[in-house]
Amino acid sequence: MHRELNDVEHFDDNLETLVKDMAATMYAAQGVGLAANQVGEDFKVFVFDCPDDDGERVTGVVCNPVLILPEGKDRELDEDDEGCLSLPGAFASCARPDVSTVRGTDHTGAPVEFHGTGLLARCLQHETDHLFGMVFGDRIPERARKKLYKLHKQLIEDYPDDWPASITPL
């Protein structure tokens, strides 16, 4: 999980199948987003189905994302609990910008852009991080990180070793 993935270069049936399987896995795990490396794939692609600050559900696929975050006086942090399907059941407070935009392509190669507020902003940042070798635990203070991983270790017996990939066939 701690290395940058390869760019998606082929927008073919294999990618479409991967994206469908990832979406099925995300829903089965009751997540709001899932990155390819969480199911053992080495491509910069993530799927999501997440509400924004207004409660409106936004779904999508992003390949080769470019994340745009506010800077300077426009940057406001939202500190909230965050979890990850790679650390099932464990949550920790993590500060992230309260808005974000991600640009890339969908699984067909068509350009996409998603602007997020609230949980959606957090999701777009979280999933993009995965594709570039970062997990949310890397973004929190060391003491909180140790507590997060300790909690995860306590809960791990409830999940198979290859969670979340094991909950649907890939």
DSSP character at residue 55? S
Q: Is 127 a catalytic residue?
A: yes
Catalytic residue chosen out of the listed positions 41, 127, 142, 157: 127
Can you tell me the distance from the alpha carbon of 108 to that of 110, in angstroms, rounded to the nearest whole number?
6
Task: Count other Cβ atoms within 10 Å, centred on residue 35.
Answer: 30
Token code pair at residue 72: 């300077």
Can you tell me the distance from the alpha carbon of 170 to that of 81, in angstroms, rounded to the nearest whole number?
29
Can you tell me the distance from the alpha carbon of 164 to that of 28, in angstroms, rounded to the nearest whole number?
9
DSSP character at residue 153? H
Task: Count other Cβ atoms within 10 Å, centred on residue 28.
Answer: 12
Catalytically active residues are 127
